[in-house]
Structure 1
Amino acid sequence: MKPERPEDHRSIEELQEDKTAVQLKGGTYEDEREMQRMGKTQELRRNFKFIGIVGFVSILQSTWENTLLASFFGLFNGGPAGIIYCTIAVWIFMMCMIASMGELAAMAPTAGAQYHFISEFAPRSMQKPLSYIVGWLCCLGWISGIPACGLQLAGIIGEMVNLTHPDAGYGLAWQATLAVFLFIILTVCFNIFFAQHLPLAEGIVLFLHVFGFFAFLLTLWIMADHVPAKEVFTNFHNGGGWPSTGLACLIGLSSPIWCFIGPDAGAHMSEELKDASIQLPKAMLWATFGNGIMGITMIITFCFCITDLDIIIGEKSTDFPIIEIIYGATGSYAATCILGGLLILLLFFSTVTTVASASRQVWSFSRDRGLPFSAWICHVRPTWEIPVNALLVCLSVALVLSAINFGSNAALNAILSVSNAALIFSYIASIGSVRLKRLRGEPLLPSRFSLGKWGGPINDISLAFLLVGFVFSFFPLAPVTGGPTWASDFNWAIIIFSGTCVLAGIWYAVGGGRTYVAPVSLVKED
């Protein structure tokens, strides 16, 4: 006999209130039906529509922007040819992965996303503990992405200041860290005070995203110096001294993966999207398809403009060489600052969307009592209709993580790189759960977006790619041989990732397992 749950005793009036709440907050009949099935109460307003969520995912990924800003690892281990071919491969595999995630999101459109999928679709014995661990890792992955975005913003500003005012003396660790603090605070404030305008802002910034792509592309095509095509498409580089160039390219995957990571951002906003179960999968696919076209075009163009690879990846290289390349192409401080300012604006809103996704993940997980002080974190004031307390948690943790930059660049880099690993693991666990159901011949939930007979092969391709990406997320830039610099050379992401898993396991054992409400326990059978 199925155990009784508190919600089974709710009155008809209370159930009707939940249905009415979905419609009053901008939902459709399908949204109402799905929230009822999952046992969730509509607390957030459904402000987003299709274009807004396409903009949200597109701006969060910022694929073409990141090909200009986060290409160092791929160029160091892979070179121009390696990073181009790896970016194309990552895009193709990511489309398979997003199709798999989109199918899951269509079956269960909830802000919890991965940990909810696992709770519903994993084998019964693993549903509760695995979803709990993944919930913690998703919170880690998203929150650690906030200082990563802030660091990029601070770095671009630093490059522009040093270009226009070489004697300014800007570039010390404490200066960059204070700038990161400022951007984190501003983006959190935007999410609190302008949340109702976020869908409109994402639509406008989506236009700037496309406009900026052509502005940079035409500038680099027309005005920059170019190298022959042979140097672009056949020049591989093994800067880390790995046993083979192929291995070096795999280690350099962190750059293209960073350019596409975070497609689950849309899923975390599903309780704020109208008609989520059909609009969300399409938005995730279209956003990544468009971003992939722009990203591949931009990375090829960028590699044509690298006239001296040693300058880009050498000891005297800058963290963001695109500023020097734009200045070299235009010969104008004003033009460089205008294009740099456009890049800053786009990355600022990428950080805004990262904060929004992180807060919804934290809010949803605390709603299911997965975090300490969950009752306070998940509280949503009816007049605000946004998870302010969860935003404040993201603000606090992100500031603490950023503060590490005062004393150790190596430690901060590890925290930033673990974002990739934590999110990739959550994708593996989610897609692996539904793939296992397919292998066992178990029926899946009815869905308005289904992969049909292609579901199994697409899941397999996704899992193979994600496993490779997960393993190489923990590799250092070059082999660690010991000596006085081993600590800075070592990739500490594996320590942080493992430590989070251990901490979550301990918390689960000492009481978290008793208080955690696995989402599957709230699901109502049709």
Structure 2
Amino acid sequence: MAVDVEANGPPVTSVLASGDLPDNLAELSADEQTLAALGYKQEFKREFSSWTTFAVSFSVMGLLPSIGTTMWYGLGYAGPAANTWGWILSVIFVLCVAMSMAELASSMPTSGGLYYAAAVLAGPKYGPLAAWITGWANWMVQVTGAPSVGYGCAGMILAVASMRNPDYVPTDWQTFLLTVFIMITQSVLSSMPTRWIANFNSVGSIVNIACLFITIIIIPAATTVTPKFQTSDFAWGIQNFTDWPDGVSVMMSFLAITWTMSGYDSSFHLSEECSNAAVATPRSIVMTALSGSVLGFILNVLIAYTIQDVGEIFESDLGQPWAAYLIQILPEPIAIAVLCMTIICAYTMGQGCMVSASRVCFAYARDDCYGIFSPLLKKVNRHTLTPVNAVWFNTLIGVLCMLLLFGGDASIAAIFSIGALAAYIAFVLPVFIKIVFVGNNFRPGPWNLGKFSVPCGIVSCIFVLVMMPIFCFPAVKGANLTADGMNWTIVVFGVPMVFVVIWFFVDAHKWFKGPKININVTYSSANVPTTEGVEVKDPALAVSDGEKDSSRKASA
């Protein structure tokens, strides 16, 4: 069971054993007290506000580039219906997931986020396994985020080149090298001090919002097709481009929506750098999900009502459906201008993904999740006070992921599927544990759902359980299914996850015990540690021994 530890403020759900308290609480700020009560010392500067935390989260979600990049998996499966009632239906469930996550963030505002929540909610017996699965699933989301966004950004840049020079056809090597270049420059920016990152992402969020609104205005105002708008029967109708029934094709199109609407967890991972984190973090999560739901629906409806030929944009020589759609309805100069705005937004989005991924990597390395690599990855750069090593480690893994590009379109598509499938597994696993095993004993933070907590959590869990197999469906089946048309998500995501689970039972369970306490703790008389097999009776001695035993996993 999770325990409640009183910091000088709202009670928090912590890995500290009942009765144990961090030393010198009175000398810490309110945010530092809350973090100390969770078992961690303050290592970052708290230079993110509620707005700048939201700015990173909104930038990571990146509505304009996300919708443009994932048209393959929305319109490409179910046609315009994916953009209209398909969006409405899916975001209802997405908002339930976001609010359930926000409740956890208020109770446990740490960089570890969902991983930490899974550990303390599952208790000392099952907590390490729950944290291990949640952590690795969440890290896979984070580490594939930047390369998938970079790949989309590179595709749009090369599409502009093709629009200007119709004889130019990009090669896989050009796409790969441009993506790597984009990721390297984003990594440099993500290695900056916290205040610089906050300011950069604040500007990036404003640019994202401005470009989104400009695009929403331009599409209906500048379209040259006649009539400007399709009928409602067309815009809300299903055009099934799969071999599955219509209903299944619409559910498959949720891949585009859930991938787009998965950036709100970034606020959770920045909570150790945010002021008043127990309130600001959950508010940022909900603000990101709500704003994304509304603005994303407006843009998607415009696309559904203005697109002329769905099949044509996927058969275009440009190789990028968003670019093909724009050139289909707008004059070429305006289409290129909108595409350039999308590229700028995609770049800031990828940089936000880098920041979020580095914080996740740091938090997991702090608890030795990465084995022999953990000491290097948990170091905070003494000049920038940011986890620079974690930034570049994720970049290296991301570049290796981009090698999937040479396996064909189906292979590279797997990094988008992972972004949705792994994300929502990580999002709801601690929610599932809270509902099934903790129940009414869960101690919420200052931001909570009250009586709607359990119903909201149940809806979230059911949604993910239903969508897990559907995200692994190929678009075609039977005689039409070939290696090129196969959905390789189950391999690219499933094989590594099977490996890490086997690793846990074979070896990692011996040394991985979940979140590690890295502060000095005053133990209660019931929890005093032992020295050389002899129980320590003197509380003062227990305090001094706390430094030697600071990595002890307190039983919850």
TM-score, normalised with respect to structure 2: 0.85
Is 2:264 the partner of 1:266?
A: no
The equivalent of 1:237 in structure 2 is: 239
Aligned positions, number: 503
Per the TM alignment, residue 476 of structure 1 is displaced from its structure 2 partner at its CA by: 1.3
Which of these residues, 512, 515, 520, is aligned with residue 516 of structure 1?
A: 512
Per the TM alignment, residue 202 of structure 1 is displaced from its structure 2 partner at its CA by: 2.1
The equivalent of 1:429 in structure 2 is: 429
CA distance in 2, matches of 1:392, 1:91: 33
CA distance in 2, matches of 1:523, 1:56: 32
The equivalent of 2:413 in structure 1 is: 413
Bigger shift: residues 230-239 or 77-86: 230-239
Bigger shift: residues 497-506 or 275-284: 497-506
**1:91-240 residue pairs with structure 2 within 5 A?**
91-122=91-122, 124-167=124-167, 169-193=168-192, 195-224=194-223, 225=225, 226-240=228-242
CA distance in 2, matches of 1:523, 1:54: 33
Per the TM alignment, residue 437 of structure 1 is displaced from its structure 2 partner at its CA by: 4.0
The equivalent of 1:304 in structure 2 is: 305
CA contact (8 A) 1:369 1:517 kept: no
Bigger shift: residues 324-333 or 370-379: 324-333
CA contact (8 A) 1:476 1:489 kept: yes
Task: Tell me the secondary structure at the aligned position of residue 122 of structure 1.
Answer: helix
Per the TM alignment, residue 330 of structure 1 is displaced from its structure 2 partner at its CA by: 4.3
CA distance in 2, matches of 1:447, 1:523: 23
The equivalent of 1:3 in structure 2 is: none
Is 2:58 the partner of 1:58?
A: yes
Bigger shift: residues 149-158 or 116-125: 116-125
Cα 1:70–1:379 shift into 2, 3 Å: same
Task: For 1:249, give the aligned amino acid.
Answer: V
Per the TM alignment, residue 185 of structure 1 is displaced from its structure 2 partner at its CA by: 0.5
The equivalent of 2:34 in structure 1 is: 34
CA distance in 1, matches of 2:502, 2:142: 22
The equivalent of 1:288 in structure 2 is: 289
Per the TM alignment, residue 262 of structure 1 is displaced from its structure 2 partner at its CA by: 2.8
Cα 1:306–1:286 shift into 2, 3 Å: same
Cα 1:261–1:184 shift into 2, 3 Å: same
Per the TM alignment, residue 328 of structure 1 is displaced from its structure 2 partner at its CA by: 4.8
Bigger shift: residues 113-122 or 70-79: 70-79
Superposed CA deviations along residues 260-300 of structure 1, whole A, max 9, x for unmatched, are: 01321111111111111100111111122112111000001
CA distance in 2, matches of 1:426, 1:190: 27
Per the TM alignment, residue 517 of structure 1 is displaced from its structure 2 partner at its CA by: 3.6
CA distance in 2, matches of 1:474, 1:219: 36
Task: For 2:323, give the aligned amino acid.
Answer: I
CA distance in 2, matches of 1:417, 1:107: 30
CA distance in 2, matches of 1:36, 1:515: 23
Task: Tell me the secondary structure at the aligned position of residue 323 of structure 2.
Answer: helix
CA contact (8 A) 2:190 2:355 kept: yes
Bigger shift: residues 468-477 or 271-280: 468-477
Cα 1:378–1:57 shift into 2, 3 Å: same
Per the TM alignment, residue 331 of structure 1 is displaced from its structure 2 partner at its CA by: 2.1
CA contact (8 A) 2:48 2:195 kept: no
The equivalent of 1:491 in structure 2 is: 487
CA distance in 2, matches of 1:149, 1:435: 34
Cα 1:19–1:304 shift into 2, 3 Å: farther
Superposed CA deviations along residues 428-461 of structure 1, whole A, max 9, x for unmatched, are: 211101112454x4x2224111111111111111
Task: For 1:449, give the aligned amino acid.
Answer: W
Task: For 2:291, give the aligned amino acid.
Answer: G
CA distance in 2, matches of 1:295, 1:306: 16
CA distance in 1, matches of 2:516, 2:368: 14
Cα 1:524–1:438 shift into 2, 3 Å: closer
Task: For 1:456, give the aligned amino acid.
Answer: V
CA distance in 1, matches of 2:497, 2:26: 37
Cα 1:437–1:130 shift into 2, 3 Å: closer
Per the TM alignment, residue 195 of structure 1 is displaced from its structure 2 partner at its CA by: 4.3
Cα 1:323–1:460 shift into 2, 3 Å: same
Cα 1:19–1:422 shift into 2, 3 Å: farther
Task: Tell me the secondary structure at the aligned position of residue 519 of structure 1.
Answer: coil
Cα 1:325–1:509 shift into 2, 3 Å: closer
CA contact (8 A) 1:136 1:500 kept: no
Per the TM alignment, residue 374 of structure 1 is displaced from its structure 2 partner at its CA by: 0.7
Superposed CA deviations along residues 331-385 of structure 1, whole A, max 9, x for unmatched, are: 242x333322221111111101111111111111111011132111111133321
CA contact (8 A) 1:278 1:448 kept: yes
RMSD: 2.6
Task: Tell me the secondary structure at the aligned position of residue 490 of structure 1.
Answer: coil
CA contact (8 A) 1:79 1:238 kept: yes
Please identify the structure whose Cα radius of gyration is greater.
2
CA contact (8 A) 1:19 1:36 kept: no
Any stretches of 5+ residues in structure 2 without a counterpart? Answer: 1-15, 518-551
Superposed CA deviations along residues 476-504 of structure 1, whole A, max 9, x for unmatched, are: 1222537xx62221111112222122221
CA contact (8 A) 2:110 2:269 kept: yes
CA contact (8 A) 2:80 2:237 kept: yes
**1:446-457 residue pairs with structure 2 within 5 A?**
446-457=444-455
TM-score, normalised with respect to structure 1: 0.89
CA contact (8 A) 2:193 2:386 kept: no
Task: Tell me the secondary structure at the aligned position of residue 473 of structure 2.
Answer: coil
Task: Tell me the secondary structure at the aligned position of residue 489 of structure 1.
Answer: coil
CA contact (8 A) 2:83 2:301 kept: no
CA contact (8 A) 2:75 2:83 kept: yes
CA distance in 1, matches of 2:283, 2:236: 36
CA distance in 2, matches of 1:40, 1:233: 52
The equivalent of 2:529 in structure 1 is: none
The equivalent of 1:472 in structure 2 is: 470
Is 2:277 the partner of 1:279?
A: no
CA distance in 2, matches of 1:308, 1:156: 20
CA distance in 1, matches of 2:287, 2:469: 28
CA contact (8 A) 1:39 1:523 kept: no
Task: Tell me the secondary structure at the aligned position of residue 370 of structure 2.
Answer: coil
Per the TM alignment, residue 325 of structure 1 is displaced from its structure 2 partner at its CA by: 3.9
Bigger shift: residues 195-204 or 423-432: 195-204
Task: Tell me the secondary structure at the aligned position of residue 392 of structure 2.
Answer: helix
Cα 1:160–1:280 shift into 2, 3 Å: same
Cα 1:19–1:498 shift into 2, 3 Å: farther
The equivalent of 2:352 in structure 1 is: 353
CA distance in 2, matches of 1:234, 1:65: 23
Per the TM alignment, residue 63 of structure 1 is displaced from its structure 2 partner at its CA by: 2.3
Cα 1:274–1:292 shift into 2, 3 Å: same
Any stretches of 5+ residues in structure 1 without a counterpart? Answer: 1-6
Task: Tell me the secondary structure at the aligned position of residue 488 of structure 1.
Answer: coil
CA distance in 2, matches of 1:182, 1:202: 20
The equivalent of 2:6 in structure 1 is: none
Task: Tell me the secondary structure at the aligned position of residue 288 of structure 1.
Answer: helix
Is 2:499 the partner of 1:503?
A: yes
Cα 1:327–1:481 shift into 2, 3 Å: closer
**1:360-439 residue pairs with structure 2 within 5 A?**
360-372=359-371, 373-437=373-437, 439=439
Task: Tell me the secondary structure at the aligned position of residue 357 of structure 2.
Answer: helix
Superposed CA deviations along residues 62-93 of structure 1, whole A, max 9, x for unmatched, are: 12432233122221322102331111122222
Cα 1:422–1:410 shift into 2, 3 Å: same
CA contact (8 A) 1:149 1:347 kept: yes
